[in-house]
C-alpha cells in the first residue's frame, strides 16, 4: 500500500486539517481551547484562556466534513452517475462543476459496481470501511490521486495507536499479543470474539468489490491479500474507535447510526455522564452534503483552570467495554462490573433448579458491581439454597426480600465472591509475571482485573 503523509510532523498535519475545515461554513473552535499532545493522555483539548460554562460550544463541525453513510454516498456518486439516491447523491451539476474529478479518475472504476441496491444493502460500517480503504489505503498508489478526505485521514490513529484493542490481537497475526486473549476476563474475551467475527463478516462482504477493481488493474496479482486485510482491520478499528452517534434516516439498524467527526475525536473520555461535554446535532445547519453540524458543548462542569483538559463522556461503560471498543481503560471507573454468569452457572448442578431458572428467564446474565449484586444472581442462588421454589417465586415478584433466606444465601454468596477473588488474584499474578506481550496491552488487561478486585473486596468487606 502507498505511504501516507502521516510521516509529516503532527503540527503540519493539524494545520492542514484546520485549513481544510475552515473551507466550510459552520466550522468553529472555541477561542479558549487548544489542542496539544501529552504523554499522559495523548492528544486532547485543553483550556488555554478564559473559562467555559454550561452549553458553551467547544467545537462545531459542518456536515460536509463528516464521514457517514450520507457523505460517503455523495462522494461515491461523484464518480458513479448510476448511484442516484434522492437527497443524498450529488446533483449532476455538482459532478460537472467539480473540475478535480476527471473522467479517468481511478475512482470511476473503483466505484462503478456500487449501485443503489448494493449501497443501500451495506451497513454503515461496510460502506465506510470500503470507501476509506479505497481512498486512504489503495488508490493513493495511483498517480496524481488525492482524496478530498486526505486531511482527515492524515490525523487518523496509526495501527500502532490501536494495538491495545483485543480484537486486533487476533486479526493481526504479527501483534505478538495472541496469548493475552486467553488471559482476558470471560466477558472481555466474548466481546473480542464478537468483534473479530464482525470484522471477518464485513471483510467478506466488501472484498468482492475490491477484487473486481484488482482484476481491472495491471499488476494486481502482486498485491498481498493478507496485507490488504491488515489495512482493512486498521480502517475498521479507526472507524469503530472514532464514531459518534447520529441518526441516519436511510438506515433502520441503530448500529448504522454514526458519523466520524474530525477534531471532535481528539477529546478524551471521562466516566462522569452528566458533568462533562456532550454532543449536539444542529439539523438546521444542514449542508448540501451532510446531516447537519455536529457540535460539542460544555456540560455542568465549568472549566476555569488554565491547562485543564476538556473531556467528553463516551457513555456509561465498564473497563471491559472501553478496552474492547477503544483500547483504553480508566484507573477509576464508576461503571465497572463483573459478569459472573459462567462461574455462577457452574455452581448450579441441580437439574430442577436450572430448569426453574430457565423457565422464569433467570438463567445467566449475572453481574456484580461495586454498589450491588444483581438481583438475577440473588434469585439464582436463592433457588439453590431453598428447596421451596414457590418461596423463590415470591422473591422474584418482590413479595419477600433476600433476608428471608437467612444465612444460607449470604454464606453461599460470600463463598462465591471469595472464590472469585482468589481466581482474579491468580490472574493478576500471571499477568505481572508475563513479559512477552506488549506491556501496554498487558497493563490494560491488568487494570481490568484490578477493577474486579476492588469490587470483590468491597463486597467481602461489606459481608465481614
In a domain, 331, yes or no: no
Q: What is the pLDDT of residue 222?
A: 60
Among 326, 351, 380, give the residue marking a domain's end: 326
Residue 95's domain is classified under what CATH number? 3.90.1410.10
Q: Specify whether 219 is located in the same domain as 354.
A: no
Q: What is the pLDDT of residue 227?
A: 87
In a domain, 332, yes or no: no
In a domain, 135, yes or no: yes
Among 326, 347, 373, give the residue marking a domain's end: 326
- Which residue ranges of the chain lie beneath pLDDT 70? 1-6, 39-41, 95-103, 218-223, 284-287, 436, 462-464
Q: Specify whether 284 is located in the same domain as 346.
A: no
Q: Specify whether 311 is located in the same domain as 401.
A: no
Q: Within a 10 A sphere around the Cβ of 249, how many other Cβ atoms?
A: 11
DSSP string, 52-114: B-TT-EEEEE-GGGSBSHHHHHHHHHTT-TT---TTTSPPHHHHHH-TT--TT-HHHHHTTT-
Q: Specify whether 232 is located in the same domain as 343.
A: no
Q: Specify whether 139 is located in the same domain as 198.
A: yes
pLDDT tens by residue, 397-430? 999 999 999 999 999 999 999 999 999 999 999 8
Q: Specify whether 312 is located in the same domain as 421.
A: no
pLDDT tens by residue, 3-57? 445 678 888 999 999 999 999 988 999 999 998 877 666 788 999 999 999 999 9
Q: What is the pLDDT of residue 464?
A: 43
Q: Specify whether 297 is located in the same domain as 366.
A: no
Bridging pattern class, strands 57-61 and 28-29: antiparallel
Angle in degrees, CA 154, 156, 161, rounded to 5: 125
Q: Specify whether 215 is located in the same domain as 302.
A: yes
Give the structural domain span for 318: 5-326
Number of structural domains, the chain?
Answer: 2
Which residues fall within 8 angstroms of residue 418, CB to CB, at 6 or more apart? 460
- Main-chain dihedrals φ then ψ at residue 159, nearest 5 degrees: -60, -35
Q: Specify whether 398 is located in the same domain as 300.
A: no
Amino acid at each position: 500500500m502507498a505511504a501516507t503523509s502521516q510521516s509529516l510532523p503532527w503540527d503540519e498535519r493539524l494545520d492542514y486539517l484546520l485549513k481544510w475545515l475552515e473551507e466550510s461554513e459552520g466550522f468553529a473552535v472555541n477561542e479558549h481551547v487548544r489542542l496539544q499532545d501529552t504523554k499522559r493522555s495523548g492528544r486532547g483539548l485543553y483550556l488555554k484562556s478564559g473559562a467555559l460554562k454550561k452549553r458553551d460550544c467547544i467545537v462545531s463541525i459542518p456536515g460536509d466534513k463528516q464521514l457517514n453513510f450520507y457523505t460517503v454516498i455523495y462522494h461515491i456518486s461523484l464518480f458513479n452517475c448510476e448511484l442516484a439516491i434522492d437527497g443524498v447523491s450529488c446533483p449532476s451539476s455538482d459532478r460537472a462543476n467539480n473540475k478535480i474529478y476527471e473522467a479517468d479518475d481511478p475512482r470511476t472504476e473503483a466505484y462503478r459496481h456500487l449501485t443503489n441496491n448494493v449501497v443501500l444493502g451495506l451497513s454503515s460500517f461496510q460502506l465506510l470501511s470500503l470507501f476509506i480503504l479505497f481512498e486512504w489505503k489503495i488508490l493513493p498508489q495511483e498517480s496524481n490521486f488525492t482524496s478530498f478526505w486526505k486531511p482527515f485521514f492524515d490525523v487518523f490513529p496509526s495501527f500502532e495507536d490501536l494495538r491495545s484493542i483485543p480484537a486486533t490481537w487476533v486479526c493481526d497475526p504479527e501483534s505478538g499479543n495472541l496469548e493475552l486473549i486467553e488471559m482476558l476476563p470471560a466477558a472481555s474475551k466474548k466481546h473480542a470474539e464478537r468483534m473479530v467475527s464482525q470484522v471477518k463478516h464485513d471483510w467478506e462482504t466488501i472484498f468482492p468489490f475490491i477484487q473486481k477493481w484488482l482484476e481491472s488493474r495491471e499488476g494486481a496479482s502482486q498485491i498481498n491479500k493478507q496485507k490488504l486485510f491488515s489495512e482493512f482491520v486498521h480502517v475498521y478499528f479507526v472507524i469503530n474507535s472514532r464514531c459518534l452517534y447520529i441518526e441516519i434516516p436511510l438506515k433502520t439498524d441503530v448500529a448504522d447510526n454514526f458519523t466520524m467527526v474530525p477534531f471532535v475525536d481528539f477529546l478524551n473520555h471521562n466516566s462522569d455522564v452528566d458533568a462533562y461535554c456532550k454532543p449536539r446535532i444542529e439539523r438546521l445547519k444542514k449542508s448540501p452534503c451532510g446531516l447537519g453540524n455536529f457540535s460539542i458543548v460544555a456540560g455542568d462542569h465549568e472549566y476555569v483552570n488554565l491547562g485543564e483538559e476538556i473531556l467528553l463522556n463516551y457513555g456509561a461503560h465498564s473497563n471491559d467495554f472501553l478496552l474492547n471498543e477503544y483500547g483504553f481503560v480508566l484507573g477509576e471507573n464508576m461503571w465497572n462490573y463483573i459478569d459472573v454468569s459462567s462461574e455462577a452457572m457452574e455452581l448450579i448442578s441441580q437439574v430442577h433448579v436450572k430448569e426453574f431458572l430457565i423457565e422464569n428467564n433467570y438463567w445467566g446474565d449475572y453481574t456484580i458491581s461495586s454498589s450491588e449484586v444483581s438481583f438475577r444472581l440473588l434469585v439464582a442462588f436463592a433457588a439453590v439454597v431453598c428447596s421451596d421454589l414457590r418461596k423463590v417465586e415470591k422473591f422474584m415478584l418482590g413479595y419477600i426480600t433476600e433476608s428471608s433466606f437467612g444465612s444460607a444465601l449470604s454464606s453461599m454468596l460470600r463463598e462465591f465472591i471469595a472464590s472469585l477473588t482468589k481466581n482474579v488474584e491468580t490472574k493478576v499474578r500471571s499477568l505481572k509475571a508475563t513479559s512477552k506481550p506488549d506491556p501496554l496491552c498487558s497493563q490494560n488487561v491488568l487494570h481490568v482485573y484490578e477493577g474486579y478486585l476492588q469490587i470483590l473486596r468491597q463486597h467481602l468487606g461489606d459481608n465481614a
